[in-house]
Structure 1
Amino acid sequence: MSAGDLPTRWTAPAKRRVMADSLALALPLIIATAAIGWRLFGIVAAVVIVVIGSAIALFFARHRAARYDQRWLVRALDAIRPDLEDSADLLFADPAMLGLLERLQQARLADRIDGDSPQSLRPDWSRRLILILWIAGLIMIGLVLFWPRPGHGPPTLAPSTEALPATPGIPRLVAQNLRIIPPAYTGLPPRDSASLDARAPVGSRIEWTLRFDPQATVPAIQPIGGARLGLRRDGANWIASRTLDASFLYRVDPASGRGPTPPLHRIDAIADSPPQVRAISPAASLTMVTAGQRSWTPVFTATDDYGVAATARLRITLALGEGENVTFSEREIALSGSGPARDRRFTPRLDFSALGFGAGGDMVVQLIVRDTRQPVANEVRGPSLILRWPSPKQPESSGLQGMVNTTLPAYFRSQRQIIIDAETLIRQKRGLAADRYLTRSASIGGDQQILRGRYSQFLGGEEEETPESPTADGEQHSDDDGHDHGGPPRQNAPGFGAPEDVLADFGHPHDDSPASSLDPETRAILKQAVDEMWQSELQLKQGHPDLALPFAYRALRFIKEVQQATRIFLSRVGPELPPIDASRRMTGKREGLSSRVLAIAPVEGRDGPAAAAWRALGDGPGAIRGPIALDALDRWPRAQAAHLPDPLALSGAIDAVRRDPACLPCRAKLRALLWTAMARPPAHLARRRPADAGGARYLGAMGGGTP
């Protein structure tokens, strides 16, 4: 064996023994600490403690094993191997650096060292310390497991806080405990409360443990406006439980109505709030695709009072295409969130090629999350984010984000397409035959004719076959000119620009055309655009696209001005009254006639019982000094609970007045609560203040009297 391999072979067993010994010492401490963390903070804390403790133990074990190196090996061999003659360091020296006698001694030592095993150099186990630590760890784990946690085991009763006077032979409450066991989805531990008033999540299990002196016979818990809840005896204590589904007021009645009236207690139910979803990135709802971008990673965050589900759904809507060729597709993908349960973050990576997203399309994403509520989870849809990939054929509109105009912009794009086609034809002229060149030019002219006809409808034109010659008489048409107008305007066959045919589907074109929605200035500009289109069409059909381009460009400029017009007027629409039956006029017949006067239904206010009780409790003419009929008022807070700031406080005040009608503070408190609970009356015209001395003199002078 070479001198380089010798230290590794002789030190490895010692290092392994030291690392195992260190881990055996640390393991009971890690387990005991994890048990304490689990008891106090839950399973997550226990796992974290185990991970961190194991990492620390492994670090110190490696640090401790690192001391068993070549220097340690030389000292150990010299100490336990007399046959090495205190020359163990020669075993690891380079022969080239040694003299003749030293090389001879090295060879002798190399033959002698194989007479023993490397296992003999391993240090002993720390048996005594390991035993002590394991015993201490097991004792600590046992204490943690068997020590009663809050909300588990027999409760510890606290002295009663009702402070009722003792009446001979009448039981009264002397000790109490209220245990609240929240639903499992909240992750909250059970807890004991020394007070009988509490706040708890909806769905919690409420358990009362009560003790009476003298011992009660049929005690009960009496909710205000609810069914009586009986108690069952358990030794010296009485126990009752119910599931909390809504807030309520109650009394502990130890003697079935005998003795002094116990005070009211309240349990407030805390409703589970739905998750809150926010878009972190991008900040704007509309984002444009950048050059070279091939994926998109929006970032959402979802928060909840108890916890958001670990998985969510991302709804992806794709809109691809332009004009009437837009296709929509929708899909949902599952996402896994990161971070703590109450504040999760979702960062999906959306690959354009995998989704089929391309130029000229929109991608709309929306995150759908749920919380951990049981049995029915709250589901919330987050804000929508839009990623837009502008089409290379047309620049993106900068002023109409999120708004699609389906009329004039389509015409604008069509006229631009005619210019593009004409320029393309001019560039291809050398490679085309004369008849082919003329045919394609005439085809573009036909498109220009169809487009000109569409715009002419905005000017009230019925048909745009050929323009009037300059020498035409300019015959004018009117509704009563005595000749046939030929019925509704003939619609062009479907073809270029067909989606815009709906603009002239209804009405006579003389005065009900879309031109009635244009102001005179815009109408004049549009007329110039149509004239330029006619000149462009004329040159295209004659086979001269180069001569048609100037007219087409001018038409495009005029159309752009029309598109950017700021004033649009709508035609007036009068009332559509039924036709008058002339045969019934002047006959005096009234058969079939009925009154058209609509009955005025009074508005029913929701504060009727409350307003009546408020007046009865006051000092006005309608005040009642004695007992007040509170039956209707007792039902009012429960029916209007959604509109009241604190319906339980109002129910408690009603109960206090019912039990002691002569209690003036109770009546005053109830009247104050009724005033805050009733709807605020609508504003009315304020009465004019009477004139002061200066105003009286002025009015007297105006009336001719003596100031």
Structure 2
Amino acid sequence: MPTTTDTFSGAALLAGIARRQARRASGAVLLLAAAAGLAGWAWGRHWPTAAPLLIGLLVALLIVVALLLYRLHQPRLPVLARRLDRLYPSLEDSTGLLLPNPARPLNLLEQLQQQRIEERLAELQQAQPQLLPFAWKPVTGGVGALLLLAAGGWLYHPPQPTSAPLLAVRFPAAAVAAAKPGQSAPPRLLGTRIRVQPPAYTRRAVYAPTGLSFSCPVGSRVRWTVQVSAAGSTPPVLEMGKFRQPFRAVTGQPTQFVVELPATTSGLYHLRFAGQNSEEYALDVQPDRAPTLQLQTPKPYTLIEFGQRPQVAVRVALRDDYGLSEAQLVATVAQGQGEAVKFKEVVTNLSAALRGQPRQATLASVLNLPALGLTYGDEVYFYVQTRDNARQLTRSDTYLVQWEDTTVQDGLTDISLSVNVVPAYFRSQRQIIIDTEKLLAEKPRLTATDFAERGNNLGFDQKVLRLRYGKFLGEEFEGSIGETAGPSAADKDDDHKEGEADHATENPAEHAGHDDHGHADHSPAGETSAASGAAALMDAYVHKHDDSETADFLEPEVKAKLRGVLSQMWEAELRLRLAKPAEALPYEYRALRLLKQVQQQTRAYVRNAGYNPPALPEATLRLSGELGNAAAPRRTRQLPAPATQPEIRTAVRLLAALRAGQPATPADAVLLDRAGQAVAQAALQRPGAYLAAVRALRQLAADARAARPTCAPCFAPAEKALAALLPAPPAAPTRSPRPDRLGQRYLQAL
């Protein structure tokens, strides 16, 4: 019988091996993390502006290390047992028997094998404390590399920005003051250094301008460091318009003064030192423009028709002066119809393509309509918005994408099938001709019965038109023409009503016209009397209309042509009734030509009568002395507009005279000063364009006051600036060039 052993001892043995392995792995992870943190700190101290990013990376590193340590200290004994079996064949692939398994008790053979494996594993552990090997070489190499990186960061010294050059500041009155004898030399301003630190979002390095007139991005920090000739001097003052900022002394440097200001607006500035003002210098502040975007696809309105893929490709081009940081596609989905429309906004982030904050980029996206929840008849409105590094926002116009609703169109199509959409037309002679030609063209596709029926219908239309024109000659309906005896009045009345009903069905308006012919009113049968019966007996022999000669006031020639029209219509109707439209067509054309002639001859031209106002009652209105409606006389005349900018125009003429050799006078200096003030106002808006002109005009004015020869190089910038400030002259009429010989012959031919 096998001796009973505690299975917990085997599991405890495996757990001890796992703990020792976890401690070694944890030490390796901590060494690598410490070396990585040291290297990050060594290099990060050179870029203080990147401190938030470094702190974020450090926090992420600590989280990853904590997760690794937690996972390493979670014992995975089955994995450890399989690894021991692979490394040590003496365990006979039976290390898993040491693991407790309450669900399945071991049999006799498994218990014997468990005892043997436990004894062998204990012997192996005594002979070799570290049963599982650990690869220290990669860990040592990684730690060494990180330590070298940290040492490089510690020893690395980033190149300091080169010291700004000492820029000379010009004082126009300094030379005159120094030339006075018997006085000690006053303190002088030797020069100044300028340092510009652009905002962080511009990603531009600190730089030193090479001149006192310079440009910088808006929001930059500008530092002026002034060097004077003697210690203890009064600090200089920086003056920019009405703003004055005194310099402060630099600690440990008695001859240096410094001032630092944020650059917000462009303008002119000068330095005031020892009671003297320097020349004007320009500070050009470049504003940060908002980003621009352009939607290349799709069009402002897109209709997804039936059969097309419900997808819309969106392509947008972005551009900014310093860098793009964010872009979004905002889509508003409209679902439903009428008052049940629901709106939903979906925002798609497109910032993944803007890593590195590029200055220009082209983004692409796809609007998948089913993924947005759209169906047939729905719409989506979308626009693209972007932000730059300064968080300035720009958005595009709103674009519309509509998915065609096929169900609504099918419903409209079904409704239209039961409606006659052919417009009703007036049955004229021209229309009868058109229908006759159409019948002849369709004859091969029609049966004999259909062809005869359509011909008979055209004959009826011709009859109605003939009767319509027969009224003008005093003719009756076809049933009463030429009758001397016939059926009873009631039968005649029924036939007459039937004819009028057919006529009214074809043209109700014309039927109303026949009522004015003078027919007797047909009373109901129940209301007839003996007198009406006698009148009915005489109705067949009495003609109620005037005869054809006195039926209207048409001229005889017109009546003759109208009779010809009726005759041709008779012939056309006869052949149409006999299903011979080809033979009826010539008669129809002749009837149409005669009708046009009748229309031309029956036109009446009436003289347009004007309005003749009544005579005014002069006795009551004239010489009454009433001046209530009298208006005072007004005299108007055109005066030339006053000359604009007279000081600039005077200075332009004066500069032309001085350039020609005219000597300058103190009065000329006053004119030049006035022009200089106008140019200085323009220089406040564009200092780079007009600053040289301000200096030139001041130099010319100073020369005029001192009676010195004028500065010859100063004329060109001054005249250029003054000419730019003057308005453009009106366009003068010019003579067109003489045309060449070919053009002249063409004009003569015209």
Give the structure-1-normalised TM-score: 0.51
Would the alpha carbon gap of residues 225 and 356 (structure 1) be closer, same or farther in structure 2, given more than 3 Å must change? same
Instruction: State how far apart, in whole Å, the 2-side matches of 1:636 and 1:474 are.
Output: 93
Name which of 247, 255, 279 aligns with 2:274: 255
Separation (CA, whole Å) in 2 of partners of 1:160 and 1:644: 19
Aligned match of 2:720: 672
The whole-number CA distance in structure 2 between the counterparts of 1:199 and 1:677 is 23
Q: Please tell me whether residue 244 in structure 1 is matched to residue 263 in structure 2.
A: yes
- 1:593 deviation in Å? 6.5
Please report how far the alpha carbon of residue 270 of structure 1 lies from its aligned counterpart in structure 2 after TM superposition. 0.8
Match of 2:220 among 182, 200, 204: 204
Distance 1:50 1:347 in 2: 34
Structure 1 residue 276: Cα displacement:
0.8
Q: Deviations over 1:307-364 (max 9, x none)?
A: 556475736485987xxx7999987665544123455777777665797755456544
1-structure distance, mates of 2:385, 2:40: 40
Matched, 1:421 2:415: yes
8 Å contact from structure 2 (residues 271, 278) kept in 1? yes
Residues 1:617 and 2:634 aligned together: no
Q: What's the CA shift string for 1:643-675, capped at 9, x where partnerless?
A: 898244443444443444422212332113333
Residue 59 of structure 2 corresponds to residue 21 of structure 1: no
Alpha-carbon shift at residue 591 of structure 1 (Å): 1.6
Contact (CA 8 Å) 1:38, 1:46: kept in 2 or not?
A: no
Match of 2:550 in 1: none
- The alpha-carbon deviation at position 271 of structure 1 amounts to 0.8
**2:524 alignment counterpart:** none
Per-residue CA deviation, residues 458-499 of structure 1 (Å, 9 max, x unaligned), is xxxxxxxxxxx7455799xxxxxxxxxxxxxxxxxxxxxxxx
1:367 aligned residue (384, 397, 400): 384
| Secondary structure of the structure 1 residue equivalent to 2:733 | coil
Q: Shift in Å at residue 634 of structure 1? A: 3.5
1:653, 1:224 → 2: CA distance? 20
The answer on 1:217 being equivalent to 2:237 is: no
Q: Which residue matches 1:171?
A: 187
Amino acid at match of 1:636: A
Deviation at 1:213, TM superposition (A): 0.8
* Equivalent position amino acid for 1:387 in 2: V
Q: Deviations over 1:11-41 (max 9, x none)?
A: 9955873674376157435642564256348
Kindly provide the CA deviation profile for residues 271-295 of structure 1, in whole angstroms up to 9, marking residues without a partner as x: 1111111225x35444332647556
* 1:386 aligned partner, one-letter code: L
Q: Does residue 657 of the first structure (1) align with residue 710 of the second (2)?
A: no
Deviation at 1:212, TM superposition (A): 0.6
* Higher gyration radius (CA): 2
In 2, Cα distance between equivalents of 1:51 and 1:301? 36
Map 1:390-539; keep pairs closer than 5 Å: 390-392=404-406, 420-421=414-415, 423-424=417-418, 470=465, 471-472=467-468
SS in 2 for 1:214: coil
Aligned position for 2:401: 387
Q: Does 1:602 align with 2:646?
A: no
Q: Partner of 1:618: helix, strand, or coil?
A: helix
Q: Tell me, yes or no, if structure 1 residue 267 matches structure 2 residue 278.
A: no
Q: Once superposed, what is the RMSD of the aligned Cα atoms?
A: 6.4
What's the counterpart of residue 606 of structure 2? none
Tell whether the 8 Å contact from 1:320 to 1:358 is kept in structure 2 after alignment: no
- Deviation (angstroms), 1:113: 1.8
Against the structure 1 CA distance between its residues 624 and 73, is the aligned structure 2 distance closer, same or farther, given a 3 Å change threshold? farther
The answer for the alignment partner of 1:113 in structure 2 is 124
State the 1:367 CA deviation. 2.6
Specify every segment of 5 or more residues in structure 1 that has no aligned partner in the other structure, as ranges.
58-68, 78-87, 96-103, 396-412, 425-443, 454-468, 476-579, 691-707
Query: C-alpha separation between the residues in 1 aligned to 2:614 and 2:225?
Result: 84
Q: Given that residues 164 and 208 in structure 2 are in contact (C-alpha distance below 8 angstroms), is that contact kept between their aligned partners in structure 1? A: no
Report how many aligned residue pairs link the two structures: 491
1:114-129 alignment to 2 at 5 Å? 114-115=125-126, 119=130
- Distance (Å, rounded) in 1 between the aligned partners of 2:686 and 2:469: 76
Distance 1:581 1:213 in 2: 103
Is the alpha carbon distance of 1:225 and 1:171 closer, same or farther for their aligned partners in structure 2, counting shifts above 3 Å? same
Deviation at 1:194, TM superposition (A): 7.0
Q: 1:122-162 CA deviation, whole Å, 9 max, x = no partner?
A: 77989999999999887777778xx79969xxx96754445
1:32 equivalenced with 2:39 (yes/no): yes
**TM score, norm. by length of structure 2:** 0.49
CA distance change for structure 1 residues 160 and 186 in 2, over 3 Å: closer, same or farther? closer
Closer, same or farther: CA 19–195 of 1 in aligned 2, 3 Å: farther
Is residue 249–residue 652 contact of structure 1 (8 Å, CA) maintained in 2?
A: no
Distance change (3 Å), C-alpha of 1:107 and 1:623: same
Q: Deviations over 1:424-479 (max 9, x none)?
A: 5xxxxxxxxxxxxxxxxxxx57x999x999xxxxxxxxxxxxxxx7455799xxxx
CA distance in 2, matches of 1:608, 1:248: 25
Judging by fraction of residues, say which structure has more helix.
2
When residues 643 and 172 of structure 1 are mapped into structure 2, their CA distance, relative to the original with a 3 A threshold, is closer
How far does residue 9 in structure 1 lie from its aligned partner after superposition? 9.3
Q: Secondary structure of the residue that 2:650 maps to in structure 1?
A: helix
Equivalents in 1 of 2:134, 2:285: separation in Å?
A: 64
Instruction: Name the residue aligned to 1:592.
Output: 631
Q: Contact (CA 8 Å) 2:195, 2:209: kept in 1 or not? A: yes
Q: How far apart, in 2, do the equivalents of 1:584 and 1:8 lie?
A: 134
- Per-residue deviation, residues 663-690 of structure 1 (Å, max 9, x unmatched): 2212332113333454443432347999
Aligned residues of 1:205 and 1:243 also touching (Cα < 8 A): yes
